[in-house]
A and B are shown apart, each in its own frame.
Chain A
Amino acid sequence: NEDLISQLSDDILILIISRLSTRDATRTSLLARRWRNLYRYVTEIELSCYDLLERAPGISRSFRPKSSDSVMNALDSFLRLRSGSKIPSFRLTACSNKSATDRFEQCISILGRMDVESFFLEGCRHSYLLDLSFSCHLFSKMPLLKKIELSNCYLQSSLRSQCNNSIQNLVLMDVSVSPGAIESVLSNCLKLHSLMMTGCACPSKLSFCGPHLELKSLYIMECEGVKEIEFYASNLVIFEFTNPVQVDFIFDHVPQLQSTYIYIFEKNIFPYVCGKLAVDLPDLKSLNFATRGDNFQESRINMFGNLRRLYINVYSLPKIHLLWLTSFLHSCPLLQEFHLTMNICVHGPLVEKEKQAVVFHSELKKMEIGGFRGTEYEMEFALYILKSAISLEIMNINRCPKVYSGPDNWRWEYVHSWSENTRARIQTELQGQAVSKTAQLTVQHEPDDPLHSGPSCSLCDACCVQR
């Protein structure tokens, strides 16, 4: 056997072993002298307690490490063997408890000296040592860190204020957030642009406040315990929120806030959107909300005088004249794009509404209706738009509902298609009805190019950082 692989250059060999798991890549150092140090140039490391405690992955799902010290000792020796090399990306799934805090902090400091830029830390989900804890002062130990994701652990506030000027992106997933921890993050991570919290347990009040916050994007999804959120964030551009219950938003100072998504499970938030939200955030450019559709008898709708894009996902919609939406449209005089999705429709008693006179919408250029079945009320609404939007360019009618599922991410939900007769009837009844000469009508099950049909987020680069 000719030694073909050794004819490849070190660079290529490193590229090859970079495709292996950290365990397999590290083992190649035993092949021969030339291989001894190649593994040290692998830039993406992923370790778990199974690795560190010399267990084969997947053999015992619920083993008990004798102590969390042994995990941290093993991690420490792995890092020391690699000292002098860089680890730009490090992923660790580990179990630990308070007794190992000091060792853990040492490891974090070593990682910081190895120029870690992207750090993922997850508390082991199979171990009984379930209190892996990350304290906010540790951010400052990793001076080149750009992105950090913490999962299934505790986030502790820190009294010591030690700044980190590199972190742009923080993700907290299933994290237990102690009181003051978010405030500690914000005061320690001066360049933080994007913060996402998903499935976290939170204190009742969260404050995103500071005179010089650079935070641009904030996503809070299904976080337990929050009752009140306060904002004094002069650079905040995007705020997205989903929660089982409504919370109080106190928008003290958000002059740049352009885009908001709100979804409170099972609640009709239309009154809130038309009322307090419009008063608090009259300058929004993009508004996206999902709401139950059972009661739209709003007497007064406040103005969204700057709104360009509107996405409404209505579910549990009773039999209703959709023309109630027209009064909402009247309060958005600069609206250019309107995406309406009717997600789940329930037949109930007919809710009557007086016919309204057509008011022209001069700016509306794009109308998209998803979840369109072809009922009388839907047709009536589509016709209203065609007749009132004098600059309309595109009217897309889709059978499938389009659903927003988190930062800049849309999907088409599959439903049974129309019969060919229904599709043809919709097409015939709407074709040629537009007052705008440039309007193009499409009636489709779902668009051909679902990946690119979602609205692109052109508001800022903050959500690009997210990905």
Chain B
Amino acid sequence: MAAETGTPTTLTLKSNDDELFSVAESAAILSVTIRNMVEDGCAGGVIPLDNVDGKTLASVITYMNGISAIPADEEKKKSYRDKFLSDKDFETLADMVLAANYLNMSCLMDAVSAKIAQVMEKKSVGWVRRKFGIENDYTPEEEAAVKEEHKWTFEGVETDDDN
């Protein structure tokens, strides 16, 4: 790594729709995928990220820069993550979780999963299906059987006309 030279190294990342982004190496190596490329010396030119589109990559880079600017303080990092994700819609979150998975960024992965999970918390099955557009492909008999198995999980869900 060129970190010893004293000048911050910049990497160029390319999204799958051919947008180019410059990002400080110190921030980019939050991604284990990118860090491995840097360590293997394959980060000289442009790093192609075939599974991430430009819009998502821009967002991920904003996150990388934001979180790496915070010193080792887990509280502050957590509040940055919460704030960063607070205005993201589900579509963005889904893209982000895929990108975080591909880039191997566990902290972003955890935060986005938690954010998606939060939507489902204490919600009825019907509500979650509608919210995410999940098609119910159980036959009525199957559904009744599964429901019987997990009867206890229906206590304490928020009331809903349609479950």
Residues of A within 8 A of B (CB): 1-9, 11-12, 15-21, 23-24, 26-33, 35-36, 51-57, 59, 74, 78, 81
Contacts and interface: CB of A to CB of B under 8 A. Distances in A.
Please name the 6 residue pairs, one residue from A and one from B, whose CB atoms are nearest each other, closest first: A1-B133, A56-B156, A19-B117, A27-B153, A5-B132, A3-B133
A81 B151 CA distance: 13
Contacts of A27: 125, 150, 153-154, 157
B155 A54 contact: yes
B152 A51 contact: yes
A3 B151 CA distance: 26
Given A17-B120, A18-B113, A30-B150, 9 more contacts: A5-B134, A24-B121, A24-B123, A30-B143, A32-B129, A35-B134, A36-B146, A53-B152, A59-B156
Given A19-B113, A36-B146, A1 B130 contact: yes
24 contacts: A3-B135, A5-B90, A9-B101, A12-B98, A15-B110, A16-B97, A16-B117, A17-B117, A17-B120, A18-B113, A23-B152, A23-B153, A24-B153, A27-B150, A27-B154, A27-B157, A29-B146, A29-B150, A30-B147, A30-B150, A31-B128, A32-B136, A54-B155, A55-B155
A245 B21 CA distance: 66
Contacts of B152: 23, 51-54, 74, 78
Nearest to A56: B156
B42 interface: no
A12 B98 CA distance: 8
Contacts, number: 115
A17 B113 CA distance: 8
Interface in B103-121: 109-110, 113-114, 116-118, 120-121
A57 B156 contact: yes
Nearest to A18: B113
Contact of A8 (B98, B136, B146): B98
Contacts of A52: 152
B96 to A, nearest CB: 11
B149 interface: yes
B121 A8 contact: no
Nearest to A21: B121
A18 B117 CA distance: 8
A4 B131 CA distance: 10
Given A1-B130, A3-B132, A27-B154, A16 B116 contact: yes
Nearest to B151: A54
B125 A31 contact: yes
A28 B97 contact: no
B150 A26 contact: yes
Contacts of B143: 30
B137 A33 contact: yes
A5 B128 CA distance: 11
Interface string B137-163: 110001100110111111111000000
A202 B98 CA distance: 53
A70 B135 CA distance: 35
A26 B101 CA distance: 24
Contacts of B114: 19
Contact of B156 (A2, A23, A36): A23
Given A15-B109, A20-B121, A4 B146 contact: no
A58 B72 CA distance: 36
B113 A30 contact: no
Contacts of A23: 152-153, 155-156
From B120, B136, B149, residue with most partner A Cβ within 10 Å: B120
The listed residue with most A CB atoms (<10 A of its CB), out of B138, B147, B156, is: B156
A53 B151 CA distance: 10
A78 B152 CA distance: 10
A26 B125 CA distance: 11
Given A12-B101, A27-B153, A32 B94 contact: no
B122 interface: yes
B4 interface: no
B40 interface: no
A223 B117 CA distance: 41
B128 A16 contact: no
Contacts of A18: 113, 117
Nearest to B93: A4
A57 B157 CA distance: 10
B87 interface: no
A26 B152 CA distance: 9
Contacts of B131: 1
Contacts of B120: 17, 20, 24, 28
A161 B134 CA distance: 53
A51 B137 CA distance: 27
Contacts of A4: 90-91, 94, 132-133
A386 to B, nearest CB: 33
Contacts of A78: 152
A2 B142 CA distance: 24
Contacts of A33: 137-138, 142
Contacts of B94: 4-5, 7-8
A10 B41 CA distance: 33
B113 A15 contact: yes
Contacts of A7: 94
A6 B134 contact: yes
Contacts of A19: 110, 113-114, 116-118
Contact of B155 (A6, A31, A56): A56
Contacts of B122: 24
Contacts of A5: 90, 94, 116, 132-134
A30 B132 CA distance: 14
Most buried by B among A24, A30, A35, A74: A30
A52 B156 CA distance: 12
